[in-house]
Amino acid sequence: MVLRVEIWSDVICPWCYIGKRRFERALASFEHADDVEVVWRSYELDPTAPARRDGDPAERLARKYGLSVDQARAAQHRLTMLAAEEGLDYQLARAAGGNTLDAHRLIHFAQDRGLGDAMKERLLRAHLVEALPIGDVATLVGLASEVGLDPAEVERLLAGDELVEAVRADERRAVELEVTGVPFFLFDERMAIGGAQDPGLFLRVLQRAWATAA
């Protein structure tokens, strides 16, 4: 038996990387971990974003949520401390925002070749820890090459519109599931959890999903 866990997230989402780490901790404790298939699903937090957003990320955050810049920086600091508990060295003050459609296409491309998790991990780290421009094609090609994808194939992919529909299909499914924020975890299409929950909760849901599988 294989238990499928689908995870909707965006590579510019700080909570998504924290959620990935917490889920991984739960999975490491799950006795049937080798029989769990993780499928990464696309979710764009800002589909209208340009390829790259320059400027102070705290100022963008403040405008988006109606905060003062000091409040936005305080929120970034709290999130950075939470990430540090998961071994992640966030650099939110330097993060270069941007459109993530191509990054999601790249994850689908990698997933088809058995490298989806490696690609997802590399993109999250690139944006949140290394502050690389996640909407830049040259950056994406380089990151893809690091995880073992053919850079020439990736260049051809990103030059056209291949896999755009795969991204849109994920997003339509998210609407059907009434997903309003990420990360969002769907277990065997029967149980769901929203948010970067505690590893203990993830583990309990994994155990329940396994125990109740047909």
Q: Establish if 61 belongs to a structural domain.
A: no
Complete edge-to-edge strand list for the sheet that includes strand 191-194:
36-42, 3-9, 184-187, 191-194
* DSSP letter for each residue of 124-190: HHHHHTS---TT-HHHHHHHHHHTT--HHHHHHHHHS-TTHHHHHHHHHHHHHTT--SS-EEEETTT
Domain ranges, residue 114: 3-54+96-211
Mapped onto helix, strand or coil, the DSSP state of residue 44 is coil
Q: Using one digit for the tens of pLDDT, what is the confidence trace for 61-98?
A: 889 889 999 999 999 999 999 999 999 999 999 998 89
Instruction: Say how many domains are in the chain.
Output: 1
Longest dimension (CA), the chain: 51
The verdict on residue 79 lying in a domain is no
pLDDT digits (tens, 9 = 90+) for 2-45: 999 999 999 999 999 999 999 999 999 999 999 999 999 999 99
